[in-house]
Structure formats: C-alpha cells, structure tokens
Amino acid sequence: MRRVQRTLVHWILPAFAVAALVAAVKPAAMPAQEAEPLAIVVNRSNPMSEISLADLRKLYRGQRSRWSNGRRVTLVMRDPGTPEREAILQTLYGVDEDEYRRGFLQAVFTGEAIGAPRVLASPNGVLRFVFNVPGAIGYVRVSEVDATVKTLRVDGRLPGEAGYRLEVPEQ
Amino acid sequence: MAALCARAQSPTVRPLYAPLAGMQGMPDTELDVGAQPSEPPEPALALLMRLAEAPAGADATAMAHPAHRPDAGQHADHEQHAHDGLRSADEKASEDDPDAPFSPQFQVHLFADMKYAAVDTTGSRNGFSLGQFDLFGRSELSDAVNVIAEATLTALPRNTFSAHLERLMLTYSPSDVFSASVGRYHTGIGYYNTAYHHGTWFQTATGRPLIYAIDGDIGVIPIHTLGVSATGSIRSGSLGLHYLAEFGSGRAGQASAAPATQPALNDNNTPSVNGALWIRPEALDGLQLGVSVYRDRLTLIDTTKAPNDETIAAAHIVYKTDALELMTEGMIMRHDPLGGAPASDSRGYYAQASRRFGTTRPYVRMDYLDIPTTDPLFAFLGKRYGPSVGVRYDFQPFAALKLQTSHLNQTTRPDMSRFDAQVSFMF
C-alpha cells in the first residue's frame, strides 16, 4: 500500500501536474492583425433581424433546425481553408477543421443534425444562395454585403459596432 | 464598419461589390424575395409551363428572379466568370433551392475497423481480427421526414460474420421542440449509447465502456429498442433543456429485428418505456448533464421464476471542447421479481478523460460494473473493473490508429490484461 502511495506521490501526480502545465502553456501571441467584421446574412424574407451568439452557435451546430416561421434552416459555409470559414469554426464551433468534420458527421450519424451545410466557394456564391433560398444563413465580409440579403444583428450589434465578436483578418 | 454595414443594407445605396451574377436588371432599391424585377412580365402561359416543369413546391418567387431565368443565367454566368473566374460545382449547385422537394437520395457512409489484440488470458489467442463493418445511410423524404438505416457485419471466429440491422428509423421533425421516430433505434439510456453507435471511428477509445457494451455478449443494458420515440428541446432560456420519451417492445421483443438480445428472456406484451432529460447550459459551452430512467418487465424463459420489473436509472456529466473530453456516467439497474422476492441492484460507471494535441489524443478510462449473484440475468458477469490507457492518432482526417492497453479485474473469470492496436476509418 505504501509503495502504491509512493508511486502516486512521486510519479503519477507530478506527471499530471506537468501535463496540466503543458496544456496550459499557449503559443506566443501573434502580432495583432487588422480585422474585418464578418456579417451574418439571411434571406430578406426571414422574419429575424437579430440573433444571439448562443442561438447562432446552435444553428450552426445543427442543434436548431427551424426558423421562427417554421422554415428549415439551410446552413452555408465557405470552402475549407478560407479565413472566413476558420473564423466561424473558431467563434461558433470552437474547433478546427478536422474536429468540425468529425463533430458534424457524428451529429448526422446520431440523427441530431439534419444535414451538412452547403459549401460555397465565393462570397458571390454565398450571397446568391442566401438570396435564392428563404431558409438560408451564411456569412461574408462586411465589405461584401449588398442589398440582396439581410444582415443580422448578433447580440444586438451590427458588424463593426463595439463588442461585435465575429471578425476575420483583413484581406 | 457599422456605417459600412448600414450602407450595405440601405435601400438607396448601390452594393459595395460587383453586382451578383444574374442581377444586372435589378433596381437599386431594396429587393424582397417576392419583389419582381423591372423586366417585362413573363407571359402567364410560359410562366405556368416553367413552374410545371420545376419540382413540386419550388419557390416560385425565387424562380421568378432573373437569377433563375435560363437566359439571364447565361448572361449572369458570363459576368461572374469575368469577375471570379470559373465557378465551383458547389456554386453551381447554389442555383438550386434545397428547400424544394426532390426524389429521395440515399447518402451512404461506411465505417470499418480492424485490430491486433494480445490478451494474457489462458486460452486466448493473439492476432489480427476484423472488427465491425458498418453501413450507415440516410435519406430525406421531404422537408420534415427522413430515414436513417444502419446495418453491420461483425466478424466472428472461424471466418464467419453476423449481420444485424442495427437501426432503421423513420423520423418526422416538424420543429425543434418535437421530433418523432418509429423503428429500431439506440435506446436513450445515458449519454454514450446515443452519442456513439457502431462506427468505432467516432469513439476516442477502441471500444465502448463496460456498462454500454453491446448486449447479447457482455452488455447489460438494452442497447436497442424497437418502438416509437419523441425528442426535442424545451423552452428554457440559457439552460438548454431537452427531453426524450421512448415507448418500445422491450428487450425480448426485438427479436423481429435481430437475434434475441438476451437468450434468457421470453417475449411478453409489456412495453418498455424510457424517459430522459438533459441540459446544455449556454454558460459553459460543451457541458451536458442528463438523467434517464428506463422501465420494462422481463419474462424469463425459465417459467419457474417470476417475471422481473426492470428499472435502469442513469446519469451523466459530459464536457467536450475542441481539445478536452471529460465524460462520466453512472448507472443503477434494478431487477425486482414479482411476488415479493428481494430485488437485486447492479451498479456501474465509467469515467473517461482525453486531451487532444494536434492529431494525437491520449486518453484514460476507468470502468466499473458490479452485478450481484442474485441477478436473474447477468449474475455470471460478477464484478468487473479496471483501467484503460491509450492514445489515438488521427493520421488522416477520416482514419485513426488507436493503441490501448487495459486491465480488467473480474470476480467470475480470471483477471485479464490486453493490448489492442486498432485502425478505424470511415469512407
């Protein structure tokens, strides 16, 4: 028994402590980069004009599948590797590309999510898709937004207002 | 930036970027989906014919937009090519309305695993083996109805396989607060049983926890149920409350979909019921806490023994983030014979922790299951407990290598240590 305790004190606990330290150490902060707000856009017929970040997370994770008018939500994502997509993965999913794929596949596998998002290659494609599909929701840089879609306030803020949390490095 | 955004939304200001393809004729004023373009009206007969050719239910207003006109589309494509270069196939697909009904399309994913196992138990042989070949398919019949089907081929000794239809569910989900399924599904007991199914690629470890082992072998809970199920979210603000209610045929009644899960059981007319509640609080993203209670009546093949009322209560706490995975679940299973004989309570739990470092995820799990000798079904399992330590390496986005070593203390069998090297993947 004493040997077990000694092993625990001398080896296992320090090992856990070191592991915890390693986990806590974060890479050195990168130099600050100019950021551009990312606008969340929906079809103009969508009755919503505002959404909370928590609800946006639920939508993008497939945990909410219907709009308030009963129409099914159609998610739009940009191509893998684009800064816009990475910003959304970081802010709404809190994961990287591999974990995102695995998580969404698992949600579809368990029946929790209805289907994977539509992946579009350009902001034009996103705007066009959102314009054409009443239940669609997507994201583009604020400089790419036009009058064919509606920009949602997130937590009461429009893109660029103080406290708006969806940002992407400037091009 | 706010001004920029407001300007983009302004009905009187031109878009800040090049016009969308196919929208050359659009007025500068704010355009609703239902708004008509400033073009000569389409002859009624032509419009009717075009709508008749379109899939039933397609959005007429969206179709009426110039972006959907074949002639305007050609012009639009040309414009966009000049602006963006070649469009991707995905972007071409963006011209379709996914809300419009279509003929069912069956999407298939396959999961498989194979492993090398070294076991120190007398009589066990070390070597390679195929795991489970899992065919998962899903099809949408309409906006609110979908089908999930899952069939497995499991490798057995002597080059034989067992085939099971694990899941076959028709689901109607008209809203987020209510969704109903009929068919064969994973029983909503606890967390692991519904979060992880038969594709081992999703699971961090090489196998399921002891308390969720597949029934019919060493498993103790009814993994599957044949019946109806309802689930949804309950309006609870930031609490994120969800419910589940299931009404099925019980353990023995599943023989119509697969071999009897528990050979000691006979069919009866008493249905099984299961209820679960869980929360996902917004305050701590990744946290889930839940409870479930399952109830059934078991009729034993040995008719000299009284039927048993079975109650399985389970609770779980799960915290999952991008890197961290902490899961623990506890379960109490009571078998209460009718007629006053004492009930037997079985207990089990597992706790699993893992942390991801890039593509590598070390993990540790502790399993515990204690079945009393008085239990009418699982007394042969006795008490079993022990740790598992392993590492998962995702060498490809859809393929993983897992190395795991485990030790199991057992009261009804010799203790066992084993090493598993498993490759699991989906395709």
Least-confidence region, from B74-83, B149-158, B283-292, B372-381? B74-83
Instruction: Please check whether residue B360 touches A, CB under 8 A.
Output: no
Instruction: Please check whether residue B79 touches A, CB under 8 A.
Output: no
Tell me the domain boundaries of chain A.
Answer: 35-169
Proportion of chain B above pLDDT 70, given as a percent: 72
pLDDT at B408 over 90: yes
Instruction: Please check whether residue B176 touches A, CB under 8 A.
Output: yes
Mutate to test the interface with B, among A132, A143, A149 (most CBs of B within 10 A): A132
In CATH, A35-169 is 3.40.50.800 = no
Provide the pLDDT for residue B265.
Answer: 62
Task: Please state the rounded mean pLDDT for residues B315-336.
Answer: 95
Torsion of CA B153, B157, B160, B165, to 10 degrees: -30
- How far apart (Å, rounded) are the C-alpha atoms in residues B151 and B168? 9
pLDDT at A22 over 60: no
Q: Are B118 and B92 in contact (CB under 8 A)?
A: no
Q: Are B409 and B401 in contact (CB under 8 A)?
A: no
8-state DSSP, A82: -
Alpha carbon separation from B73 to B22, B87, B290, B396 (Å, rounded): 6, 13, 51, 40
In the structure, what pLDDT confidence band is assigned to residue A5 with cuts at 50, 70 and 90?
low
Least-confidence region, from B244-258, B300-314, B371-385? B244-258
- How far apart (Å, rounded) are the C-alpha atoms in residues A102 and B203? 10
pLDDT tens track for B175-217: 989 999 999 999 999 999 999 888 889 999 999 999 998 755 6
Provide the pLDDT for residue B21.
Answer: 34
User: Which residues of chain B make contact with A158, given a CB cutoff of 8 A?
Assistant: 2, 5-6
In the structure, what pLDDT confidence band is assigned to residue A100 with cuts at 50, 70 and 90?
confident
Q: Provide the shortest C-alpha distance from residue B380 to chain A (in Å).
A: 30
Q: Are A169 and A36 in contact (CB under 8 A)?
A: yes
Provide the pLDDT for residue B61.
Answer: 35
Give the sign of the dihedral formed by CA A73, CA A74, CA A79, CA A82: negative
Closest by CA to B118, choosing from B403, B410, B423, B413, is: B403
In the structure, what pLDDT confidence band is assigned to residue B4 with cuts at 50, 70 and 90?
very low
Domains within chain B, CATH numbers bracketed: 18-93 (no CATH), 108-426 (2.40.160.10)
Cβ contact, residue pair B94, A132, below 8 Å: yes
Q: Are B289 and B278 in contact (CB under 8 A)?
A: yes
Could you tell me how many helices (H) and strands (E) chain A has, helices first?
6, 8
ipTM exceeding the 0.95 mark: no
Torsion of CA A160, A163, A168, B1, to 10 degrees: 10
Q: Are B326 and B308 in contact (CB under 8 A)?
A: no
Report the 10 Å Cβ neighbour count for A34: 8
Provide the pLDDT for residue B160.
Answer: 82
pLDDT tens track for B227-280: 999 999 999 988 999 999 999 988 764 443 344 444 456 667 788 999 999 999
Q: B378 - beta bridge partners?
A: none
Instruction: Please check whether residue B60 touches A, CB under 8 A.
Output: no
Cβ contact, residue pair A128, B286, below 8 Å: no
pLDDT tens track for A101-160: 888 888 888 888 777 788 999 999 999 999 999 999 999 999 999 999 999 999 999 998
Winning range, highest mean pLDDT, from B47-51, B135-139, B327-331: B327-331
Mean per-residue pLDDT of chain A:
82
Give the sign of the dihedral formed by CA B9, CA B12, CA B17, CA B20: positive
Identify the H or E element spanning A141: strand A136-141
- How far apart (Å, rounded) are the C-alpha atoms in residues A59 and B233? 13
User: Which residues of chain B make contact with A123, given a CB cutoff of 8 A?
Assistant: 17
What residue of B is the nearest CA neighbor of A129?
B94
In the structure, what pLDDT confidence band is assigned to residue A170 with cuts at 50, 70 and 90?
confident
In the structure, what pLDDT confidence band is assigned to residue B59 with cuts at 50, 70 and 90?
very low
The structure tokens listed for B254 are 């599943």
pLDDT tens track for B36-49: 333 334 444 443 34
The structure tokens listed for B6 are 């407001």
Provide the pLDDT for residue A7.
Answer: 53
Provide the pLDDT for residue B111.
Answer: 93
Q: Are B294 and B258 in contact (CB under 8 A)?
A: no
Task: Please state the rounded mean pLDDT for residues A47-55.
Answer: 92
The strand pair at B344-355 and B360-370 is best described as antiparallel
Cβ contact, residue pair B173, A74, below 8 Å: no
Q: Which residue has the higher pLDDT, B26 or A117?
A: A117
- How far apart (Å, rounded) are the C-alpha atoms in residues A108 and A121? 23
Angle ∠(B277,B265,B368) on CA atoms, nearest 5: 50
Alpha carbon separation from B99 to A54, A55, B58, B169, B209 (Å, rounded): 25, 22, 7, 22, 40
- How far apart (Å, rounded) are the C-alpha atoms in residues B196 and B207? 10
Least-confidence region, from A2-6, A147-151, B186-190, B367-371? A2-6
Q: Are B260 and B175 in contact (CB under 8 A)?
A: no
Cβ contact, residue pair A148, B359, below 8 Å: no
Provide the pLDDT for residue B122.
Answer: 75
Cβ contact, residue pair B90, A121, below 8 Å: yes
Report the 10 Å Cβ neighbour count for B327: 21
Provide the pLDDT for residue A16.
Answer: 53
Provide the pLDDT for residue A12.
Answer: 55
User: Which residues of chain B make contact with A129, given a CB cutoff of 8 A?
Assistant: 94
Residues 6+ apart with CB under 8 A from B362: B354, B355, B389, B390, B391, B392
Residue with tokens 């966009």: B80
Task: Please state the rounded mean pLDDT for residues B17-24.
Answer: 34
The strand pair at A153-154 and A35-42 is best described as unpaired
Q: B216 - beta bridge partners?
A: none
Give the 3-state secondary structure of B321-369: CCCEEEEEEEEEEEEEECCCCCCEEEEEEEEEEEECECCEEEEEEEEEE
